[in-house]
Amino acid sequence: MAKRVALFPSKLEIPELEKSVLEFWKKDDTFKKSVDQRPLDKQYVFYDGPPFATGMPHAGHLLGSTSKDLIPRYWTMKGYRVERIWGWDCHGLPIENMIEGQLNLKGGKKQIEELGIDVFNQACRSEVLRLDSEWERVIERIGRWVDFDNNYKTMDTSYMESVWWGFQQMNEKGLVYEGKKVILYCPRCSTPLSNFEIAMDNSYSTVTDWATTYKYKVVGQENTYLLAWSTTPWNKLATPALAVNPDLQYVTVEQNGEKYILAESRLSMLHEKPEYKVVEKHLGSELTALKFEPHYDFYPNRTENERIGVLVADSFVTDDEGTGVVTLAVYGEDDYRVMQKENIQIVEHVDDEGKLKPEVKPWAGMFILKVNDKVNEDLEARNLIYANVKYTHSVAECYRCKTRLYYAPLPAWFIDIQKLKPDLIAANENISWYPGHLKHGRFGKGLETAPDWNISRSRYWGTPIPIWRSKEGQDRVIGSIEELKRWAVDQEAAKNVTDIHRENIDSIEVWVDDAKTIVGRRVPEVFDCWVESGSMPYASRHYPFENKELFEKTYPAQFVSEYIAQTRAWFYTMHVISVAIFGGNAVENTLTTGTIMAADGSKMSKSKRNFTDPMEIVEKMGADSFRLYLMSSPVMRSENINFNEKEISDIRKKVFVIWYNCLSFYKLYRPSESLSGLVTTKPKHILDRWILSRTHTLISEITEALDNYDTVSSSRQLMAFITEISTWYLRRSRDRFRVEDNQEGLDVFGTVLALMSQLFAPVAPFFSEFVHSQVVDADGSVHLTDWPEALPELQDQKLESDMTNIRVIVEKVHAARAEAGIKLRQPLAKIQVTAPYAEADPEVIQVLLDEINVKEVIWTKEDNADLSVVLDTVLTPDLEAEGQARELIRNIQVLRKQSGLGRDDAATVSVPSIPEKWQKEIELKTKVKLVLGDEMGLVAKE
Ligand SMILES: [Zn+2]
């Protein structure tokens, strides 16, 4: 039974055509066939970064999906087995926040726990994939082949169990530690965020705060104050120390009857009140002898060693801004480090929801940003503020809930990146990056400066961290469900565990010692969901519990492709986890795209409605045009582009409409849908030899480009080739095909169309399938064919460059004719060409003469000459007669068309005069018999 893609349509409707191709693929099961027909032991492995399913796919996803489709289709045609399984990222804050909104949980973690983790997680579970069929529809429509049916989900028990195993491995290698670290923290989500989450796009906003210069009274010196500058009034409530730079020059100045100490280079801070006098100078290191009176005493000394009201020196203090004196509180990374080093009192006066603790009596329970004004009012009233000015700066915000983040000291588990760093850097050497500058640029530099990775989250919907801890602090790390059952205190309770989300295992106690005498409970945290996506290579295969041999044989993968921000996110986390567990890189080739911006260069934003839904464009102009637009654009070299709908419509016209027209012309003479083999020997006609040579040169060029993951150059060359076929090969060949029974020419043309459909197949899978079905095989798929090989014996460099040269001359002649007002139908005697290259071969010159309608070319080669063309515009009576004959041919052809004559219908046409010398040729070319009459007209049809 025929499965043909489509009958040849008399009118081109690209979206309809693409839908018929989709139908064909479905009926034919082409994707599965394309994978299955390649050998198991010749794999090209592709890892897909799993998307969150909480929103609809946008232009960026379509970009990623197109490159994730193009490259695997290419390698499939090259003979490799490229399995493609869809994955879903299910856990993490995005979905938790969505559920909190849906359940109207405004009370943060407290309210979730009151509701019950089981209820909350069930709500997450049932909502997480609600858009999956929408995704599938979109991904399918743009022509991406991927197996949705056997997808993996990061919330699958098998996936989570592998993540446990991976963590146990890293722990056994001493790469995991528990610590307290000052990290960016979202008080609304009550969870820390890792640096790469912030480094991803859109996690900063610009705000205007008060920047305050505070006065700290120096103990034992009358009317003398240290001036310290800060934008966070709320942490002035617990500022036990100040810091200066040991090597900076500081001064004491007199102003308004008071003395102030600040850095000499920051005297401009006094410019509002310019009359001051410098009375003393000190090096920063000398100032550490000073003590000051803290503004508040909510936290008195607890031990003798604990220091309060002291000045310390550390090089992190700079004179870039402020006064060169900074306040120290635990809510800063450097602050915390210096405070620990200097035995400064460490207290946290803010709870895990960003509210002041009960000890801060007047303002207990207030959110920190709300208390800022109150603190400054209070200090102003106590004359402890020197100046207060508006200050605009950029601050980090939670990428999900947009709450402003602050640095907080938190207990957390870390992957020791510092220990792993030399290995991370070394393994990067084995990865090829596209574009190449990312290797030692954005990615490599990122590795060098990477901080330790905080992998714990105080949340609910995630893979629980498998550490069970006794009251005394003894730990057992569990690496599988089997181990959990083995060490569970209540064997009965553990027996039926099939899902390892928090609600199912938090209550299970585990023996933390091998003698089974000490009971431990699980620590409450879950993993950062980036641990899960970074574990995708092995966890999606449930390694090592299943697929052991398969995974080990196919690791590392050959290819990943994501957008640039993933260099700091998924590319990074996958690299870390791979190096930590398996000692090497996870992938060999990384193709990184840029970001698609709205047409005006701003970020695409649903709320601003500054872009057209990409699927609307696909429905209008076709997925192939959309794909070719993306793959040929600099966004594939990780540059940002402004989305340009017009370019897509241009590609539709200049590539697919023209390609269709070429195909129609071919089908006119050869309607057959099965080519009887490709032409593999040099044909006779010069134009056929040329187009075949060009095609084979193109095969080499496209292959080289795609081997190097350069979709931009391959796509652009393919597009240019369509123009070459139509504006040169076909333009110069029409008459040959019309007049003669030109089997060889048609064989060549068919060969070119067949090879072209293969070269286009990875980037424009729909139209190339259609062409294949029309030219080569009505029931087969171009995607099941082997990638074509360039035949050197058909390539003729001299011919190609001759042809390129004469095409430049053609342009010049056409321009000179237009200038002289001589129509192309009027033959000319000769032209003179002066060129820096030698005269083309005679056969090529004949093509030139035919095109420009000139009898002779006189060619002079001058080494350093610019190309110049001079027309001989003298018209002899013979030339004029020939010009009239050509005019007549054209008019008769117009008449034939108007009279509705078919291509082969003979007819008799009357004309006022018959140019005797040309009668035969006119009658042959127009397929009419000429008779004399008063005016031109159709006399008879036969
Ligand atoms: Zn948040």
Catalytic annotation, pick one of 48, 69, 89, 528 = 89
Q: For 620-655, b where at least 16 C-beta lie within 10 A, e where not — what string?
A: bbbbbbbbbbbbbbebbbbeebebebeebeebbebb
Average pLDDT over the chain, rounded to an integer: 93
Q: In sequence order, what E strands does 471-575 have?
A: 475-477, 510-511, 519-522, 526-527, 557-563
Q: How far is the CA of 939 from the centre of ligand 1 (A)?
A: 85
Instruction: Judge whether 361 counts as a catalytic residue.
Output: no
Q: Please tell me the distance between residue 658's alpha carbon and the centre of ligand 1 in angstroms.
A: 52
- Res. 773: pLDDT tops 60: yes
| Catalytic, out of 27, 402, 553, 606 | 606
| Secondary structure tally for the chain: helices H, strands E | 34, 32
pLDDT at position 3: 63
Distance of CA 825 to the CA centre of its chain: 52
In this prediction, residue 201 carries a pLDDT of: 55
**Residue 189 clears pLDDT 90, i.e. is over it:** no
Residue pair 682/749 in contact by the 8 Å Cβ criterion: no
Q: What is the whole-number distance in angstroms between the Cα of residue 332 and the centre of ligand 1?
A: 19
3-class secondary structure per residue, 811-840:
HHHHHHHHHHCCCCCCCEEEEEEEECCCCC
pLDDT confidence of residue 200:
64
- Strand order of the β-sheet with 519-522 is 475-477, 467-470, 519-522, 510-511
566, 49 Cβ separation under 8 angstroms? yes
In the reported structure, the alpha carbon of residue 77 is separated from the centroid of ligand 1 by a whole-number distance in angstroms of 46
State pLDDT tens for residues 131-154.
Answer: 888 899 999 999 999 999 999 999
By percentage, how much of the chain surpasses pLDDT 90? 78
Give the whole-angstrom CA distance, residue 198 versus residue 203.
Answer: 5
Residues with CB under 5 A from ligand 1 (ion): 186, 188-189, 398, 401, 403
> Does residue 763 sit in helix, strand or coil?
coil
CA of 507 from ligand 1 middle (Å) equals 28
Read off the DSSP letter of residue 594: -
Q: Are 908 and 897 in contact (CB under 8 A)?
A: no
Residue 94 near residue 54 (C-beta atoms within 8 A): yes
Our answer to whether residue 363 is catalytic in this structure is no
User: What is the 199 CA–ligand 1 centroid distance (Å)?
Assistant: 15
Pairing state of beta strands 510-511 and 191-192?
A: unpaired
Active-site residue, 374 included: no
* CA 219 to centroid of ligand 1, rounded, Å: 42
pLDDT at 922 > cutoff 80:
yes
Q: Which residue is catalytic, options 86, 530, 659, 787?
A: 530
Phi, psi of 277, deg, nearest 5: -135, 125
558 belongs to the catalytic site: no
DSSP output for 150-211? EEEETTSHHHHHHHHHHHHHHHHTT-EEEEEEEEEEETTTTEE--HHHHHSTT-EEEEEEEE
| Angstrom distance (rounded) from CA 786 to CA 815 | 44
Q: Is the pLDDT of residue 2 over 80?
A: no
Q: What's the 594 CA to ligand 1 centre distance in angstroms?
A: 26
Burial class (CB in 10 A: 0-12, 13-18, 19+), 935: exposed
Catalytic residue among 19, 603, 925, 929: 603
Of 809, 700, 800, which Cα lies nearest the Cα of 755? 700
Tens-digit pLDDT profile for residues 696-732 = 999 999 999 999 999 999 999 999 999 999 999 999 9
**Catalytic-role residue among 25, 43, 48, 50:** 50
Give the distance (Å) from ligand 1 centre to CA of residue 365: 19
- Give the DSSP letter of residue 46: B
Ligand 1 mean position, distance from CA 132 (Å): 25
pLDDT per position as a tens digit, 421-444: 999 999 999 999 999 999 999 999
Active site residue 566: yes
How distant is the alpha carbon of residue 334 from its chain centre?
A: 35
Amino acid (one-letter) located at 429: E
Which of these, 232, 218, 226, lies nearest to 244 by C-alpha position? 226
The vertex-791 CA angle with 625 and 843, nearest 5°, equals 90
Nearest to 722 by CA among 744, 696, 747, 752: 752
pLDDT value at position 511?
A: 98
Phi, psi of 412 (to 5 degrees): -160, 160
For residue 397, the CA-to-ligand 1 centroid distance in Å is: 8
Cα 569 to ligand 1 centre (Å): 18
Alpha-carbon distance values, 187 to 35, 232, 393, 576 (Å): 48, 16, 20, 28
pLDDT digit string, tens, across residues 31-59:
999 999 999 999 999 999 888 877 788 88
pLDDT digits (tens, 9 = 90+) for 282-302: 999 999 999 999 999 999 888
Is 72 part of the annotated catalytic residue set?
no
Question: Is there a catalytic annotation at residue 917?
Answer: no
Catalytic residue among 164, 461, 570, 659: 570
Question: Does 7 or 909 have the greater pLDDT score?
Answer: 909
